[in-house]
Amino acid sequence: MTLKRLFIQNLRNLNSVDINPSDRVNLIFGENGSGKTSVLEAINVLALGRSFRSHKHKPLIHHDQLEFTVFGKVKADDGADVPIGINRQRDGSASYKANGNLVPSAADLAVYLPIQVISADTFLLLEGAPKVRRQFMDWLVFHVEPKFFPLWKDCQRCLKHRNSLLRRDRMPSNNGGRSLELASWDQELAFLTEQIDILRARCVEQFKVSFYDLLKEFISLDGISIDYYCGWNSDKLFAEILHAGLERDIQLGYTQIGGHRADLRITVNGQDAAEILSRGQQKLLVCALKIAQGFVFSQMTGRKTIYLVDDLPSELDEKNRTLLAKWLDSMETQVFITGVEQDSLLSIWQNIPNVVTKLFHVEQGSVKEIVKTFVE
């Protein structure tokens, strides 16, 4: 799966960009504020309907414009070209197109363009709230388990209904009466949660194998462990715990436990990795998590994920930059990497033979290919 053509109109300072990326390494350089991260954001928007920098769409629309458009031609795994596109308006409306047809949501585009982002924010994977790691885990589950997304959507709906019933039952006017409705939502919630748990647990097991292999091969960090937490005490059935916690849930007005509390616990000798590892070690560990994710995705689906790496040189020292470049190279996938200095970006790839590289210069919102490929 590669992005063969990328067209961007009125996204941040990018008024009109039309490029044909390499199906391997794309190096994007330019001064601060020129628009490099915006190019990666545009690819992210095309893949997921939103940016990796902000969940709001308005900051993405060029100040002077009412809408932005991103269009891409994706080479599917069967070799067919699939056009996909997204348009977002200032009033909030959005349209998504795949293969010439309107599709209902960004999730319908996500299947065409699996991407992984490595940026400064990616380090929140270790430091951030469980939600960040849950999203990381669910990316893999979404892409390898077709049953996951409909179950997840139903589960979200169910949880919302349950929470509003909990709040209703808390009202004095209800005389403490427990609604029968709640019992039926509980049953459905328990069923969906247990199904989601099975899919997540299965993916995380696969993921752990690849991740530990990758660590052994490249990093000398002992005692690192990844453990899946399903969101409740897993010795008991979820339905039982949900029932036992009902009074407390009513008092609180929301459901305390469940798959919406799932997490990936990343520790070093039993302690939180974010509290133990140095900044550089954390960065490398996060890169290893991202690479392992793409690797497992490829093993389980036979497809490849695209990597967007924002401002690589500033995030890692030289040794680790080269290590990441080797990891990315071993994935044989399409990558987009930004950096301020042309030479420092190029030097990272110089030790890796036979890499087809395209170089793009970004200047005040316009992107030009520099015809200077280096193939050893």
Ligand X SMILES: Nc1ncnc2c1ncn2[C@@H]1O[C@H](COP(=O)(O)OP(=O)(O)OP(=O)(O)O)[C@@H](O)[C@H]1O
Residues in contact with ligand X by CB under 6 A are 12-13, 30, 32-38, 59, 61-63, 311, 340
Residue with tokens 């209800």: 174
Q: Which is nearer to ligand X, 37 or 69 (CB)?
A: 37
The helix/strand/coil state of 280 is: helix
Q: Choose among Mg ion, ligand X, none what residue 34 binds, the Cβ cut-off being 5 to 8 Å by kind.
A: ligand X
Q: How far is the CB of 359 from ligand X (least distance, A)?
A: 15
Q: How far is the CB of 334 from ligand X (least distance, A)?
A: 20
| Span near Mg ion by CB under 5 A; candidates 5-13, 19-27, 32-40, 62-70 | 32-40
Q: Which is nearer to ligand X, 13 or 163 (CB)?
A: 13
Q: How far is the CB of 53 from ligand X (least distance, A)?
A: 8
| Span near Mg ion by CB under 5 A; candidates 35-43, 93-101, 162-170, 361-369 | 35-43
8 A C-beta contact, residue 85 and residue 70: yes
Q: How far is the CB of 111 from ligand X (least distance, A)?
A: 27
Of residues 357, 362, 356, 317, the one with CA closest to residue 338: 362
Query: What whole-number distance in Å separates Cα of residue 218 and Cα of residue 230?
Result: 29
Q: How far is the CB of 109 from ligand X (least distance, A)?
A: 22
Q: Is residue 37 a contact point for Mg ion (CB under 5 A)?
A: yes
Total residues in contact with Mg ion, by rule CB under 5 A: 1
Question: Which amino acid, residue 315?
Answer: E
Q: Choose among Mg ion, ligand X, none what residue 304 binds, the Cβ cut-off being 5 to 8 Å by kind.
A: none
**What tokens were used for 15?**
């008024």
Q: How far is the CB of 72 from ligand X (least distance, A)?
A: 18
Query: What whole-number distance in Å separates Cα of residue 63 and Cα of residue 59?
Result: 8
Hey, which residues does 83 pair with through a beta bridge? 73
The helix/strand/coil state of 42 is: helix
Q: Which is nearer to Mg ion, 38 or 193 (CB)?
A: 38
Query: What whole-number distance in Å separates Cα of residue 276 and Cα of residue 268?
Result: 7
Specify whether the backbone of 319 is left (phi greater than 0), alpha (psi in -120 to 50) or beta. Answer: alpha
Q: Choose among ligand X, Mg ion, none what residue 231 binds, the Cβ cut-off being 5 to 8 Å by kind.
A: none
8 A C-beta contact, residue 83 and residue 99: yes
Binding residues for Mg ion, rule: CB under 5 A, are: 37
